[in-house]
Amino acid sequence: MIGPLRFLGLNTPFEEARVALLGVPLERTVSYRGGPAQAPTAIRSASDSIELYSRIFGRDLAQIGVCDLGDVDSHLPMEEMLRLEEREVGRVLREGKGIVVLGGEHTVALPAIRAAAGIGAIQVVALDAHTDLREEYGGERIAHATVLRRASEVAQRLVIVGARSFFGAEAGEPVFAEPAELVTRLDPEIPVWLTLDLDALDPSVCPGVTNPEPGGLSYGATIEIFRSLMRFPVVGMDLVELAPPFDPSGVSAITAAKLVLEAVAAFWGR
């Protein structure tokens, strides 16, 4: 019998796993192209096309131990979805395991970061084409365009890499960094949460996102950021804003799945 769709087909029991995956198919505050609620399923499906071995980091995910926890119920009110996510991420982190949250819109990063901050000091690295530093958006304080402002309120520090779309007021804030200077902006003693909005990548690499923005990171540059973060204690990450309806070739979902594989190998394969 075939069970639920799982990332890379992996089914390590939670108690034995080093890393857990959690899908949060939230799509409530999107402002341009829709579809991120479909992303966790699309990423799991795309993962069926890639190998489990990371040649870059020399690790086999089947040996690392990955448990796919499934998805938060997308029919719940947004507030309840976010509460359930925060509770589940906190549970995984308290067990000493790494976690990957598959969004969903970027709002899903906030409860995960809050869960990490509830355990101890956390610093956030955000790869994002947009700054997401608005105080409110559409009358709401919690939305995809405010998520990094809210994250900065609970994190020890926030560093944004890849931003190239500004609404103006935030342009002078000292949170932006080039990839080469990222490691100099982080404290090696404080755990890191990585939030990866796929629009950080150039749309020629990953076109199927909710808000594409020209001039982004290459796939190789993103992998080099993973490599630079290996010297820090990364406790979790989220990957967000894939828009499967605008990914007819499937290459964006495959890119997302491959980035998850490489991140797990880099951060938890040692």
Chain segment 122-145, per-residue pLDDT in tens: 999 999 999 999 999 999 999 999
Residues 46-70: pLDDT tens digits?
Answer: 999 999 999 999 999 999 999 999 9
Q: pLDDT at residue 102 above 80?
A: yes
Output phi, psi for 210, to 5 deg.
-75, -35
Q: Is the pTM of this model over 0.85?
A: yes
pLDDT in tens, 222-269: 999 999 999 999 999 999 999 999 999 999 999 999 999 999 999 999
Model pLDDT, residue 84: 98
Range of the domain at 155: 7-268
- Kindly report, residue by residue over 191-225, the tens digit of the pLDDT: 999 999 999 999 999 999 999 999 999 999 999 99
* Residue 33, domain CATH: 3.40.800.10
Q: Is residue 209 part of a domain?
A: yes
- Where does residue 140 rank: exposed (0-12), middle (13-18), buried (19+ CB within 10 A)? middle
195 within some domain: yes
H/E segment holding residue 46: helix 39-46
* Cis before 23 (ω within 30): no
Task: Check if the beta carbon of residue 8 is closer than 8 Å to that of residue 64.
Answer: no
Domain membership of residue 190 (yes or no) is yes
Q: How far is CA 32 from CA 128, 133, 201, 211, 212, in A?
A: 16, 17, 17, 6, 10
d(CA 197, CA 77): 23
Flag whether 261 is in a domain.
yes
| Element (DSSP H or E) covering residue 260 | helix 251-268
In-domain check, residue 1: no
Token pair for 171: 């342009």
Mean confidence (pLDDT) of the chain: 97
**Cα dihedral angle (159, 54, 208, 155), rounded to 10 degrees?**
-20
Q: Structural domain tally of the chain?
A: 1
Answer whether residue 220 is part of any domain.
Answer: yes
Q: Is residue 181 part of a domain?
A: yes
Q: Does the residue 2 lie in any domain?
A: no
